[in-house]
Structure 1
């Protein structure tokens, strides 16, 4: 059934005039008449009876009108549900404790009326996350995706650099250092449990360890952030990396220390992936927010060569 014919029928029924309905729809009176004739042939009934004063509904037309209105209402609701301004922007932040989630939260605090939702595709690597964006599972994703691996149809912009910090317990030899150089960490055990082969963060830490001669240990089961914090607090040799914008909590008695890295400062480059040409207004606002309010990073930074940006 032709939806435009349905819309024309309802307009004629409500105005009582073919010309008035045609003007309302932005078509000619002849086009309106053809639409009604096509609809009547499809239904095999007469819906409208022409009179000297315009037109009136036949008995069949009176029965059909409320159904036609419900169909048009359902169609409008269906279209509305997928219009960018009508549904939440779904953003993959990878992990709710790290910098992207905190940046999106600050964006929401600054724009409380924005309609958005955050998800964590933590089991997908960068290529899989990009595919999820292409397929519409999510609207955007923060990933460290090399520029040469950005698939067609994806827009990628590096909008959030997260400087790394060393996290140690109070008994660690570097616990009281105001800052350290990455090269100074050679020989220290850095434990980052949960690094999965093939993930972009695995490639990042591999490049970091090769660049500065570090020993990054991903061995052992990952029992979660709390277990990692407990292990750091009890160890005089164990350390890990966290982003300066990451939000981790631990008991005050742990007395953990966050130590900036400098000369150079390694940064984890979060690239925001979205579908090329996506006009969702919240996505546009998020891009603008990140471009203008992102944290300042030092001039002397290190990122893997494969980032290409």
Structure 2
């Protein structure tokens, strides 16, 4: 069931102290205010300045004023979030932001126990719908986890059961201002089209969609966790680096599962469906010791090296 912001934080038990990722928008402004009120003296903030739009300086100014008002220590870091060729602007900004958050937290508050993000229930629905629109598998349908570990940090999303409108109403009730990102109304971005066009229609047709979609995402996440356990067990049998003969002996589904897990867990690379299918086709053709295998996956290549596979960056 969806919750109020105060209910969500009442059930949130972070290690203290912790860092809030503060963009200056409504969601992170509300999260920081509520956390500073609930855990006085235990909250720090990091603002990532992307430099991608003219409004970026206004976001930084708001964050500095807000943190001064709340007596919350703030670190501001500037990043180059321009996309690489073939990379989406959203993906580039997200990767740059997460890396900068972890680095800034480590530099300024290495004693902090975690990093807290402000994504809410509407963001979760948007993420699920984007995954569906792209034909994603279970990892995409699982959407955003409420808690995970990355780059040596514990990451938390305590507001995933809070509707976006309720977050903004919480701010209005307290007379707290926030900065509106002008790109949020740009419907060239899929997420913004979903927010503007699809969510209102869902609310009209399926009023409980936030709760039911969240349950579906949770089921997908649970199923994926089981598959990850299985993949790790089979990969241990196949070997590191994976032995070609052992891979060829697996069923197609189990082979695909292990290849995905190997690339992601060992090389932080996620193959597309087409790349994975081509890799499996090339494995099927590896009937002789001299058969060559060479396939672009992510920022590198999967290659045959004797009797095993290896992935090397470009």
Higher percent of residues as strand: 1
Is the TM value for this pair above 0.5?
A: no
Q: Which has the higher relative contact order, 1 or 2, with Cα contacts under 8 A spaced 6 or more apart?
A: 1
Looking at CA atoms only, which structure, 1 or 2, has the larger radius of gyration?
1
